């Protein structure tokens, strides 16, 4: 099988060398064809070598990894972001379903990302994911934006406004939509909470994350429940009740 061609981009030489060594030592399906410390240099290398994947540092002086992608334009390769900082950008990356690796990069996590690449090569959806990433990085949050949901068949690009509520079940989540359909995904509710909180979603219970735009009414009986647009009644946790009532009253 032909190896996956990779370009590594990081302004820190030590990080670049460390990642290069780990790929060579533990990821036999990957071949590093070029490295770059400057985004301008990286863009030239990408256009020349046409890689299958780039490992891209988010925080670089003068031009961030996100800005580099905007300057580059069309992207027909996969992207794995690398970062030493766990901040708001991570939620944007999650919404767009890109892989990312936290520095210092663990060998096991690198191998998982590399294995996932092999499955994605034949059905790259990088352009759609970049569009979602750009929207989620914007200060203006809109439920017209989309979220990329990994499924057994690949990725589904779902308008946020179509999500009614999400219910947790162990390591799975069931997403309920306004069109009376649902989708079971392998993801924790906490992940969805982090991603969707800026889009007017609220976790009313350990098991329930709701779209506040689709509350039909609040019911005081049975300890407190919300009725959603489709008539579904969901419990509001006692510890969440005061904050939730202030939120919907305001």
Please choose, from the candidates 232, 167, 247, the residue with its C-alpha nearest in 3D space to the C-alpha of residue 206: 167
pLDDT value for 124: 62
Mapped onto helix, strand or coil, the DSSP state of residue 130 is helix
pLDDT value for 121: 57
Question: Is the CATH code 2.40.50.1020 the one for domain 160-249?
Answer: yes
- Token code pair at residue 238: 């006692």
What residue segments make up the domains of the chain, in order of their start?
4-136, 160-249
Q: What pLDDT, in 10s, does the model give residues 187-220? A: 999 999 999 999 999 999 999 999 999 999 999 8
CA distance 60 to 37: 9
Q: What pLDDT, in 10s, does the model give residues 55-97? A: 999 989 889 899 999 899 888 899 999 998 767 688 889 999 9
Residue 151 has pLDDT above 90, yes or no: no
Which DSSP symbol is given to 123? G
Q: What pLDDT, in 10s, does the model give residues 12-58? A: 999 999 999 999 999 999 999 999 999 999 999 999 999 999 999 99
Cis bond before residue 92 (omega within 30° of 0): no
What is the pLDDT of the chain when averaged over all its residues? 92
Q: Are 98 and 80 in contact (CB under 8 A)?
A: yes
CA distance 193 to 240: 14
pLDDT value for 123: 52
Q: Are strands 4-9 and 53-57 parallel, antiparallel or unpaired?
A: parallel
Q: What pLDDT, in 10s, does the model give residues 118-150? A: 776 555 688 889 999 988 888 888 999 999 998
Answer with the residue of higher pLDDT: 170 or 79.
79
Q: What pLDDT, in 10s, does the model give residues 171-189? A: 899 999 999 899 999 999 9
pLDDT band at 250 (very low <50, low <70, confident <90, very high): low
CA distance 116 to 98: 11
Mapped onto helix, strand or coil, the DSSP state of residue 213 is helix
Note the CATH architecture for domain 4-136. 3-Layer(aba) Sandwich (3.40)
- Token code pair at residue 74: 């069309």
Contacts of 158 (CB under 8 A, 6+ apart): 146, 147, 148, 149, 175, 177
pLDDT value for 145: 95
Tell me the mean pLDDT in the region 104-111. 96
């Amino acid at each position: 099988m032909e190896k996956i061609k990779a370009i590594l981009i990081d302004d820190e030489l030590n990080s670049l060398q460390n990642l290069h060594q780990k790929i060579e030592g533990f990821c036999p399906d990957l071949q590093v064809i070029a490295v770059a410390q400057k985004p301008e240099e990286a863009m030239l290398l990408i256009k020349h070598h046409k890689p299958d994947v780039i490992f891209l540092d988010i925080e670089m002086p003068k031009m961030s990894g996100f800005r580099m992608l905007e300057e580059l334009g069309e992207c027909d390769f996969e992207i794995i972001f690398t970062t030493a900082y766990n901040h708001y950008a991570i939620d944007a990356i999650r919404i767009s379903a890109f892989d990312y690796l936290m520095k210092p990069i663990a060998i096991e996590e690198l191998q998982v990302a590399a294995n996932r690449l092999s499955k994605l090569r034949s059905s790259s959806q990088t352009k759609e994911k970049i569009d979602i990433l750009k929207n989620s990085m914007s200060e203006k949050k809109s439920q017209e934006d989309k979220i990329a949901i990994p499924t057994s068949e690949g990725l589904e690009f779902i308008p946020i406004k179509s999500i009614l509520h999400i219910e947790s079940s162990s390591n799975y989540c069931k997403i309920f939509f306004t069109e009376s359909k649902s989708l079971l995904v392998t993801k924790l509710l906490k992940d969805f909470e982090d991603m969707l909180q800026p889009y007017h979603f609220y976790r009313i219970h350990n098991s329930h994350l709701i779209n506040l735009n689709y509350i039909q009414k609040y019911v005081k009986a049975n300890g407190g429940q919300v009725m959603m647009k489709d008539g579904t009644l969901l419990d509001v946790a006692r510890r969440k009740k005061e904050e939730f009532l202030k939120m919907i009253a305001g």
